[in-house]
Chains A and B, each alone.
Chain A
Amino acid sequence: MIALGLEGSANKLGVGLILHPSKGDAAQILSNIRHTFVSPPGEGFLPKDTAKHHRSWIIRLVKQAMKEAGLRVEDVHCICYTKGPGMGAPLQSVAVAARMLALLWGKKLVGVNHCVGHIEMGREITGAQNPVVLYVSGGNTQVIAYASQRYRIFGEALDIAVGNCLDRFARTLRISNDPAPGYNIEQLAKQGRHLVDLPYAVKGMDCSFSGILASVDILAAKLEANHGGWMDETTNEVITREDLCFSLQETVYAMLVEITERAMAHVGSSQVLIVGGVGSNERLQEMMGIMARDRRGSVFATDERFCIDNGIMIAHAGLLAYETGSTTALEDSTCTQRFRTDEVFVRWRE
C-alpha cells in the first residue's frame, strides 16, 4: 500500500510518499521532499507568514513528489496529514490541502499525531525494537516509552521546549536561521572552550528550560555591553559568544541525557532512539552514545532527512493506522494545536 503524507506543523513543509510492501518487509521511501520557511536573523517564524509559505508551496511539492516517485493518482491508497500538535495556522493550511486532495482524488484521509510520526519513522529507519524515545524539537521535548498500546510520556519540558530555548538564544545573538538556528549554535559551540555556570533544571523526569534561557540571555547582554567578551572572575578566562553557545549546549543536553537515562533505568530498556530536529545535533548524539555505552546499551538516531520534520513520517505513521482500519472522516479532519502523544491508541503494535 502507498500513502501520501503532508506535514506542516511548524516552518517545514514536507511531502512524502511511502510504500509498505506485504507484511514483514521494510517500508520503501518513494519520495521525501521538504521546503523550509526561513525567517531573517533575530526573528522567529510567525504563524501567519509560515501558513502563507505552506499554502504557496504545497501544490508544487505534491506534484514534484508524485513525479519523483513515478506514481499515478490511482496508486495512492490514502492521504495522511498532521492533525497536531503544532502551530494553528500552518496546520490548518496543510489540512485544507489534504482535504482538497482527498475529495479531488477520492481517497481516505488519515489524521496523524506529529510525535507518533517521528517515533514510528525512527523505529522503521533504525530498526530499534522497543527503545526509550527522546523526542526533541523546536516545539516538543519528551521522553517516551511504549506500554500497552500507548506511547507514554515519562518526562517532558515543563515550560518551553529545548529547541525553542536554542532557537531563541540564536535570536538573541542574531545568528542566521539558515538552515536552522540550532545548527548554527552547534557550529559556534564547537569553538567554545569555557563552561559558564548556568542553572541546571531537572525536576524528577521533567526539565525546565526557560530559566536557563533567561540566564544565558543575561550573559549575552553582558557580552554585548563588553564588546564581545568579558573576563570570568574565578577562572580569569575571556568568555566569548562561542563559550555561551558551548555552555548552553553542554547544560541542556546533559539534562536531556540524564532524564533519558533515568527513564531507561526505570523501564529496564537498553535502547535509546533520538528523534526530532534537535536529535540531529552531533554533540547530543555523542553524549547519548557515551551514556548508552556505560549502560551496555545502544543509541539509534536518524539523519536530517528523517529527524527534521518531514512528510514521509506522516505517511508512514498514517499508513500504519490505515492498515489497521483507522481513517479520519472528512467532517472529523480537523487539526489541533494540542494533541498529546499518549492520546493516540497504537493499534499496530503488540
Chain B
Amino acid sequence: MELTNPAPPQPTPLPPPFTHASPPPTLLTQGAEALLYRTHFLSPSHPCALKHRPAKPYRHPILDKRLTKHRILSEARTLVKCRREGVSVPGVLALDAEGSGNGSGGWMMMEWVEGRTVREVVVEKGKSGEGLEGLMGKIGRAVGRMHEVGVVHGDLTTSNMMLRPWSASVQNGTRVMNGDGDGEEARTVGEILEGEIVLIDFGLAVQSLQDEDKAVDLYVLERAFGSTHPEAEEGFQEVLRVYGESYKGAKVVLKRLEDVRMRGRKRSMLG
C-alpha cells in the first residue's frame, strides 16, 4: 500500500538572516542533508554558496540538534584544515551551527565554486568513454591529496566533486572568483574535461590518518561509481592507480581496500 502523507510538503524556509537578503538566494539543489543556495557574501558581486541544514522533522528533536551542530562544526573545521594544507576545497566564510536556537537547523556559507559536478561530466562523456582517463587520474590525485593531510571525506561520490575550469580557479594565490565572464569563455574554448577537481560536501568528513578509514573512503567511492556509472566502471582502476602514486602511504591504503571489499556482509566467498 502507499502510505498517505498527512500534510502536503512545505517548501523549506530560509534560515534567518537570509530571509531578508536582496537579491534573495536561489536554490540550486536539495541534497539528502542540506539545501544548497547561491547567494552573495557582503556585496552582491561576491557570489557564495549557502548550505542550509534544515531541521529533520523525522528525527527526534534532541538527536536532530545534536547531529546538525556536530556536522556543521566538523565540516567547517575540516574545510579550514584542507584549505590550510592546500587541498582544493571551498573556503568557509561564515556559519551558525545552532540556527540561533530557533529550530531552523543550521547553516554555513562557503566560497562559490565554478564548474560542473564530475557526475554530470562522466554521464555526458560516459557513452563514448573517451578522454575520461585524465579525469580519473585527477580524481585519484585529489582524493590522495586530501588523504595525505589526514582528512577522510566520508561520502565520496561523483556528485561531491566539482570540475572547476582552470580560468576560474585560484589566481595569484588570491581567492578571486570569476563569476561569469572568464568561466563561460573556458567552457566554450576549452575541452570539457579540462580543469581542477574541487572536493565539496564535507558533511560526513572526519580527520583521520588511519589506513582503515581512508580505505573505507575509497570503497564508498568505488561503489558509488559502480552504481552511478556502471559503464565507466573500468575507469575506476585509473583512479586507484593514480591514487597509489599520489602520496607516501597510499599503497598501504590500497592494500587495505582489498580487505574492506571482502568485508561487506554476505559478500560472496568465491574468489
* A→B interface (CB under 8 Å): 85, 125-128, 140, 145, 147-148, 152-154, 156-159, 161, 195, 197, 200, 202-206, 250-251, 254, 257-258, 261-262, 264-267, 285-296, 298-303, 338-340, 343
Assess the A200–B230 pair: CB atoms within 8 A. no
Assess the B230–A294 pair: CB atoms within 8 A. no
Assess the B58–A296 pair: CB atoms within 8 A. no
Write out the residue numbers on chain A whose beta carbons fall within 8 Å of the beta carbon of B9. Answer: 293-296
Write out the residue numbers on chain B whose beta carbons fall within 8 Å of the beta carbon of A290. Answer: 57-58
Extra pairs beyond A158-B265, A291-B56 (14, CB < 8 Å): A126-B1, A128-B2, A147-B227, A152-B226, A152-B227, A195-B63, A250-B60, A257-B58, A265-B32, A266-B32, A288-B3, A290-B58, A294-B12, A295-B30
Of all chain B residues, the one with the shortest Cβ separation from A341 is B266
**How many angstroms between the C-alpha atoms of A292 and B67 in the bound complex?**
20
Q: Indicate whether B248 reaches chain A with its CB closer than 8 angstroms.
A: no
Q: Which 5 pairs across A and B sit closest by C-beta, in order of nearness?
A: A204-B220, A262-B32, A265-B32, A290-B58, A287-B58
With A291-B56, A291-B58 as given contacts, are A200 and B265 in contact (CB-CB < 8 Å)?
A: no
Assess the A250–B1 pair: CB atoms within 8 A. no
Minimum C-beta distance from A335 to chain B (A) = 13
Assess the A254–B60 pair: CB atoms within 8 A. yes
Q: Is the interface of A mostly helix, strand, loop or mixed?
A: mixed
Write out the residue numbers on chain A whose beta carbons fall within 8 Å of the beta carbon of B227. Answer: 145, 147, 152-154, 267
**How many angstroms between the C-alpha atoms of A258 and B203 in the bound complex?**
13
Q: Indicate whether B228 reaches chain A with its CB closer than 8 angstroms.
A: yes
Of all chain B residues, the one with the shortest Cβ separation from A284 is B58
Assess the B32–A261 pair: CB atoms within 8 A. yes
Interface size on B, residues (CB 8 A): 43
* Stretch with Cβ within 8 A of A (4 or more), from B41-49, B80-88, B128-136, B151-159: B151-159
Write out the residue numbers on chain A whose beta carbons fall within 8 Å of the beta carbon of B217. Answer: 204
Assess the A265–B228 pair: CB atoms within 8 A. no
With A200-B67, A258-B32, A294-B12 as given contacts, are A285 and B60 in contact (CB-CB < 8 Å)?
A: no
Assess the B265–A157 pair: CB atoms within 8 A. yes
Of all chain B residues, the one with the shortest Cβ separation from A127 is B2
Minimum C-beta distance from B266 to chain A (A) = 5
Within 8 A of A (CB), among B1-51: 1-3, 5, 7-9, 12, 30-33
Within 8 A of A (CB), among B240-271: 263-269
Assess the A195–B60 pair: CB atoms within 8 A. yes
Assess the A266–B159 pair: CB atoms within 8 A. yes
Write out the residue numbers on chain B whose beta carbons fall within 8 Å of the beta carbon of A206. Answer: 220
Minimum C-beta distance from A14 to chain B (A) = 20
Write out the residue numbers on chain A whose beta carbons fall within 8 Å of the beta carbon of B59. Answer: 250, 254, 257, 287
Assess the A340–B266 pair: CB atoms within 8 A. yes
